[in-house]
Amino acid sequence: MSDLRITEAFLYMDYLCFRALCCKGPPPARPEYDLVCIGLTGSGKTSLLSKLCSESPDSVVSTTGFSIKAVPFQNAILNVKELGGADNIRKYWSRYYQGSQGVIFVLDSASSEDDLETARNELHSALQHPQLCTLPFLILANHQDKPAARSVQEVKKYFELEPLARGKRWILQPCSLDDMDALKDSFSQLINLLEEKDHEAVRM
């Protein structure tokens, strides 16, 4: 091979290396999903979302109306609209459902029987609401680190999830602030459901 051909070959290799290093372009944008997060006061909604956003626990204040957080994950950004869970606010929840692509329901697995009954009724209402009934649900049985916490199987049976949510997309997961890996895994499963729903919409 002539010196000219060798020089051309090296120049072309340099060009390819330059393209690979400098001309890759911006990474593809992560998809964004709009979610609504509901649950009774004290269930831990605000604390869980704040921890996922790496916010200081000292700044956590119980939500009285609603708040919006952009929760970043490697493959998606979740724009979560958290609604306050007090008695005088729950009756207005449905006003904020429009535009939601998924639902996060947080319950206190260590709560009193009365509060658990109220949470069950609210979850049943959400699962059957016209604006939510076709959406993916992530149901978090929070406060698993407390001695009085009910297991996931106990929650599933008490909330009658198998018959009520049959045919729907839902995930029931245990969680606590002490186990962020499990919490992030729960949200990854929710993102998978959201992506599946997107793909189905494209095929239609």
| Binding site listing | 39-46, 63, 85, 142-145
Structure tokens given for 16? 């390819």
| 38 closest CA partner among 140, 130, 117 | 140
Rounded Cα distance between 192 and 134, Å, is: 15
CB 37 within 8 A of CB 190: no
Q: Which residues carry a binding-site annotation for GTP?
A: 39-46, 85, 142-145
Report the distance separating Cα 204 and Cα 198, nearest Å. 10
| Binding-site residues from annotation for Mg(2+) | 46, 63
| 80: three-class secondary structure by DSSP | strand
